[in-house]
Structure 1
Amino acid sequence: MPVVVDPDQVKVAELLKALPPGSHAMDTFERLETWLDQRDEEYAVVLGPNLSLDAALTLSDQMRTQRPTIGVVLIRQAVDTDVLTRAMHAGVREVVSDGDMAAIGAALDRAHEVWIALRGSAPAPTLGKVLTVFSPKGGVGKTTVSVNLALALAADASRKVCLVDMDLAFGDVAITLQLFPTHSIEHLIGSESTLDFGLVHSMLTPHESGLMVLAAPSLPDARDRVTGALVTRVIKALQEHFDYIVVDSAPTFDEQTLTALDGTDECVIVATLDVPTLKNVRVALDTLDMLSIALDHRHLLLNRADDQVGLGADKVESILGMEVAARMVTSMEIAAATNAGQPIVVSSPDHESSKVIRALATRLTGEVLDHDASSTAGSRRFRIRR
């Protein structure tokens, strides 16, 4: 996919219209370097008109030898002989006048052809990892865990993360992030046979952290019209373009939830320290065993795990027959952060619960998360998306 670099977000939004769905944007060369170090499918870098010409040509000259398969497309407000000559010497693939969207699109098409020719053929895409957060009982903090987990993963600019609200009747992901989506998974109903990433991408809502969100329907009656086949196609399309897909599932074993669970790589099971919840979790685990879902890939998170309630981790492990992977204690700061639209990993990265979430993310992905990146996730936009 192409990447556009320009410090002006208005210009970025304009340029992204000429780029294919799934393209990304950076506002600095440093973040571009971080991004390219982690990616293998980028075939073009579009350098916007608000970058200094000297800096743009220096970058292009470096990429000419270090990343020869990636084509550099330079956008300039004025294209003259001097600019063309210097660009040619720096290894710029094409120079295009600012505002000529058709020329930008054509330049990217040619860059993609060269990329395929130099590599021999387009490599098979590496599928992203699906992380499903599940609980058979509502009110245990499942959405809070899902949102904070996704934000912790998205805090590093080198990761592409999508959060899918699969609680199709009463999903709260959008409101938790204070997003007001214009589209949701409901708008994909009936497109099972024609669905591709471009269509799915048009339904996503961006969060300021760079996290992308596929929201639940606004009304619960749409749930029954979302088929298992649609859930499968949506998740597969997202896997081809995102590193991690975090699924906030419904607290029930309906068709959509079972479909999402069946395709999950790692499953986080959220429980609280009360007997009714633990009973439901025990039944749910037996059901997952019977269906052979996420065997050896389940992780138990105890939420509101306070010692005063009379049930400890040892007792829970004996009841459920699985180890406790993470514990989060009751905290008013978590609720306050959620109500403010700044979940705890963003608003208070040093909070104990934030550390628990990052440790859980490391357990699920094998990647150690950057604490410094998490601490600034709420104050800047890591990736600007179409």
Structure 2
Amino acid sequence: MTTICDLDPTTAEALRGAVGEARVVTSLEQLRIVLDTDPYEDVVVLGPSVDPGSAFRLAAALRISRPALSLILVRQRIDTSLLAEAMRAGIRDVVDERDLYRLNASVRQSQSFSAALRESAAPAGGDSAPGPRGKIVTVFSAKGGCGKTTLATNLAATLADRGRRQVCLVDLDLAFGDVAIALQLFPAHTIADAVPLADVDFTAVQALLTPHSPGLTTLVAPVEPGSAESIPASLVAHILELLRQHFDYVVVDTPPAFDDQVLAAFDLSDVVALIATLDIPALKNLKLTLETMALLNYPRERWRIVLNRADSKVGLAIGEVEKTLRAPISVEIPSSRDVPASINRGVPIALDDPRHPVSLAIREFADRHVLGGAPSVPPDTAVPPDLRKDRRGFFRRRPS
């Protein structure tokens, strides 16, 4: 259910017309009574006549007492300072009062997100002890076009298993990320919206997430490529740690480059899936990737080599590839024209056709190397700050 609060009854009714089924209250006191009597309320829309200070104080209180409740703020004017203050308070979205289509979409997304959060927070049994930290799986290739995003989206969907687990898919290709397009998402926020926030906690990050399907939530890349430069590696590391504490698995899609943000993800990863295809340039880049990761002292037991389009008839045998790389291939994913077709529909093939050979190969990888494979990185064995600094400075240009 959705509740709309605005001091002007006419405005409140107009907002209800955009949202659909909803109840209307015309004061914050009435809203508090509704929330006290309905512990399962999903979404509250605060109209333009609600004082912003009162809205922020209400949101700050509810983020603690009702974390599954989403608040949407409707304003006549929206600026950067308002957005930053709203996210700090825990408001999920801020919508222009003239954009009623966006308001409707935001309410629907918030309902899905609140339901998923409430489901993930529900205890599986009588034991209320905190569960283990989630695992972080990073998908990487130094060459574009190998299928990183396809593997990342399908692996995330496989791990979520239609709601059995809670998974967050993070798009760290900050300049040219394709996760939102591949999943046909229309996000209200991206990871770039975390930059102006003074204090980024999980509630703030939660407001930036976009749900996709049961158990699968996303944190998408910025829309503008230029925003990538404003997102520091330290913020990326902090966000990944927050997500790890609240999701069973965090899957990270990456750009084809060893930049500081990617190295921050590597530092925290339990599994690094290194993907290549059966062509000489891709295998050459994979070999260089393995050598670079060894040089940077990333533990070999966390590496997994994924061979995509492994059945391509190009005159290269799998055994020859393993001999050249001096490393075993963890899984061979076959090629199929059904994969780009599923991408064009915005549905991962792992969800669209779970028994497809590509889906089965990805499930095999998940079962062997993620669900039952590498142990989680203990919090006390985090990468020492001096080594982390050395890694992230390794690829920077030296002054001539």
TM-score tier (shorter):
0.5 to 0.7
Q: Deviations over 1:333-357 (max 9, x none)?
A: 1111111111111111110110011
- Evaluate the alpha carbon distance shift between residue 139 and residue 33 of structure 1 in structure 2; reply closer, same or farther with a 3 A threshold: closer
- Look up the match of 2:397: none
**1:318 & 1:290 partners in 2: Cα distance?**
20
Q: Once the 2 structures are TM-superposed, how far is the Cα of residue 187 of structure 1 from its aligned partner?
A: 0.5
* Closer, same or farther: CA 21–231 of 1 in aligned 2, 3 Å: farther
Q: Does 1:201 align with 2:206?
A: yes
Alignment correspondent of 2:176 = 170
Q: Does 1:141 align with 2:147?
A: yes
Residue identity matched to 1:219: E
Correspondence for 2:115 among 8, 25, 32: 25
**TM superposition score normalised by structure 2:** 0.64
In the alignment, which of 135, 138, 142 is matched to residue 132 of structure 1? 138
Structure 1 residue aligned with 2:334: 329
Q: Which range is displaced more, 211-220 or 301-310?
A: 301-310
How far apart in 2 are the matches of 1:279 and 1:264? 24
Q: Is the 8 A contact 1:262 1:294 kept in 2?
A: no
Q: Distance in 2 between matches of 1:317 and 1:275?
A: 13
The letter for the 1-side match of 2:251 is V
Instruction: Provide Cα deviations, 1:51-83, integer angstroms capped at 9, x if missing partner.
Output: xxxxxxxxxxxxxxxx3x8xxxxxxxxxxxxxx
Where does residue 190 of structure 2 map in the other structure? 184
1:107-166: CA deviation from partner (whole Å, max 9, x where unpaired):
xxxxxxxxxxxx7xxx56632100000001000001000000000111242311000000
Cα distance change on mapping 1:33 and 1:326 into 2, 3 Å: closer
SS of 2:42's equivalent in the other structure is: helix
Aligned with residue 325 of structure 2, among 317, 320, 331: 320
Give 2:96's aligned residue: none
Task: Write the deviation string for residues 255-304 of structure 1: whole angstroms up to 9, x where unpaired.
Answer: 11111111111011110011111111111111111112242111111111
Amino acid of the structure 2 residue aligned with 1:141: G
1:155 alignment partner, SS class: helix
Mapping of residues 1-386 of structure 1, within 5 Å: 14-15=41-42, 19-20=66-67, 25=115, 36-37=123-124, 67=126, 126-191=132-197, 194-367=199-372
Amino-acid identity (%):
40
The answer (yes or no) to whether the contact 1:21–1:197 under 8 Å persists in 2 is no
CA distance in 2, matches of 1:220, 1:282: 29
Unaligned runs of 5+ in 2: 1-19, 23-38, 45-61, 70-112, 374-400
Match of 2:387 in 1: none
Query: Partners of 1:258 and 1:26 in 2: how far apart?
Result: 30
Structure scoring higher RCO (CA < 8 A, sep ≥ 6) equals 1
Give the Å deviation of 1:364.
Answer: 2.5
1:126 partner letter:
P
Pairwise CA RMSD? 2.8
Relative to the length of structure 1, the TM-score reads 0.66
Q: Deviations over 1:297-340 (max 9, x none)?
A: 11111111125101121111111111111111220011111111
Unaligned runs of 5+ in 1: 1-8, 40-66, 70-118, 369-386
What is the letter of the counterpart of residue 152 of structure 2? S
Deviation at 1:32, TM superposition (A): 6.5
Amino acid at match of 1:171: G
What is the number of equivalent residue pairs in this alignment? 275
